[in-house]
Structure 1
Amino acid sequence: MKPERIKPVIRLIVPLIIFMAISFKGMSNRILIPMDDSQKNHLKAYGISFWILKTFEMEMDWLLNYRGGSFMVNYTQQFASEMTVRGVSFEVISEGQAGQILNQISAPDVNMDAVKLQKAPKVAVYSPKSKLPWDDAVTLVLTYAEIPYDVIYDEEVLSTKLPEYDWLHLHHEDFTGQFGKFYQYKDFPWYREQKKEAEETANKFQFANVPQMKQAVAKKIAEFVSGGGYMFAMCNATDTFDITLAAEGIDIVDAMYDGTPADPTANSKLNYDNTFAFKDFKTIPYPYEIEFSDIDNQPDERGLLESNDFFSLFQFSAKWDPVPSMLTQNHKTLIKGFLGQTTAFKNRLIKPEVIILAENKPAKEARYIHSTHGKGFFTFYGGHDPEDYQHRVGEEPTDLNLHPNSAGYRLILNNILFPAAKKKKLKT
Structure 2
Amino acid sequence: MKKTSILLLLVLFARISLANQILIPMDKSQTNHLKAYGLAYILLKGDIDVEWLLNYRGGSFKVQYSKSIENECKLRAISYEIMSEAASAQLNNEISNPSINMDVVKLHKAAKIAVYSPIKISPAEFENTDAVLLVLKYAEIPFEVIYDEEILKGELPKYDWLHLHHEDFTGQFGKNLRRTSQEDIKAQEAIANRFGYTKVPQMKLAVAKLIKEFCAGGGFLFAMCSGAETFDIALAAEGVDIVDNLDGDGIDPDAQSKLDFEKTFAFHNFKLQLDEYEGMNFSDINSSAGRYRSWGENDVYFSLFDFSAKWDVIPAMLVQNHENLIREFFGQTTAFSKYTVKPSALVMGTSSSSDRYIYGEMGRGQWTFYGGHDPEGRGGGGRRMPTDLNLYPNSPGYRLILNNILFPSARKKKRKT
In 1: Cα distance, 2:44 partner to 2:223 partner: 24
Question: In the comparison of the two structures, how many residue pairs are matched?
Answer: 407
1:138 corresponds to which residue? 132
| Deviating more after overlay: 128-137 vs 145-154 | 128-137
Asked if 1:309 is matched to 2:277, the reply is: no
Give yes or no for contact 1:340–1:391 (8 Å, CA) kept in 2.
no
Asked if 1:262 is matched to 2:251, the reply is: yes
Q: Deviations over 1:228-281 (max 9, x none)?
A: 0001000100110000000000000102x2111011110000000000000111
Which of these residues, 229, 248, 251, is aligned with residue 241 of structure 2? 251
What is the aligned-residue identity percentage?
Answer: 54
Asked if 1:420 is matched to 2:402, the reply is: no
Structure 2: state its 5+ residue gaps: none
Alpha-carbon shift at residue 194 of structure 1 (Å):
0.9
Give yes or no for contact 2:34–2:393 (8 Å, CA) kept in 1.
yes
Asked if 1:206 is matched to 2:180, the reply is: no
1:278 corresponds to which residue? 267
Q: Where in structure 2 are the equivalents of 1:385-404 lying within 5 Å? A: 385-390=374-379, 394-404=383-393
Give yes or no for contact 1:230–1:376 (8 Å, CA) kept in 2.
yes
In 1: Cα distance, 2:351 partner to 2:240 partner: 33
Give yes or no for contact 2:291–2:330 (8 Å, CA) kept in 1.
no
Q: What is the root-mean-square deviation in Å for CA atoms of aligned residues?
A: 2.0
Closer, same or farther: CA 132–382 of 1 in aligned 2, 3 Å: same
AA partner of residue 262 (structure 2): D
Give yes or no for contact 1:115–1:422 (8 Å, CA) kept in 2.
no
Closer, same or farther: CA 229–73 of 1 in aligned 2, 3 Å: same
In 2: Cα distance, 1:125 partner to 1:391 partner: 27
Which of these residues, 203, 212, 223, is aligned with residue 233 of structure 1? 223
Q: Deviations over 1:360-385 (max 9, x none)?
A: 02x2x100000110000000000000
Alpha-carbon shift at residue 159 of structure 1 (Å):
0.6
TM-score (norm. length: structure 1): 0.91
Alpha-carbon shift at residue 346 of structure 1 (Å):
1.0
Closer, same or farther: CA 307–115 of 1 in aligned 2, 3 Å: same
Q: Where in structure 2 are the equivalents of 1:243-392 lying within 5 Å? A: 243-255=233-245, 257-288=246-277, 289-299=279-289, 306-361=297-352, 363=353, 365-390=354-379
Closer, same or farther: CA 381–393 of 1 in aligned 2, 3 Å: farther
Alpha-carbon shift at residue 58 of structure 1 (Å):
1.2
1:150 corresponds to which residue? 144
Alpha-carbon shift at residue 422 of structure 1 (Å):
4.4
Alpha-carbon shift at residue 316 of structure 1 (Å):
0.2
Closer, same or farther: CA 392–175 of 1 in aligned 2, 3 Å: farther
Alpha-carbon shift at residue 291 of structure 1 (Å):
0.4
Give yes or no for contact 2:112–2:160 (8 Å, CA) kept in 1.
yes
In 2: Cα distance, 1:299 partner to 1:23 partner: 58
Structure 1: state its 5+ residue gaps: 1-6
Structure label with greater radius of gyration: 1
TM-score (norm. length: structure 2): 0.94
Give yes or no for contact 1:133–1:394 (8 Å, CA) kept in 2.
no
Closer, same or farther: CA 393–323 of 1 in aligned 2, 3 Å: farther
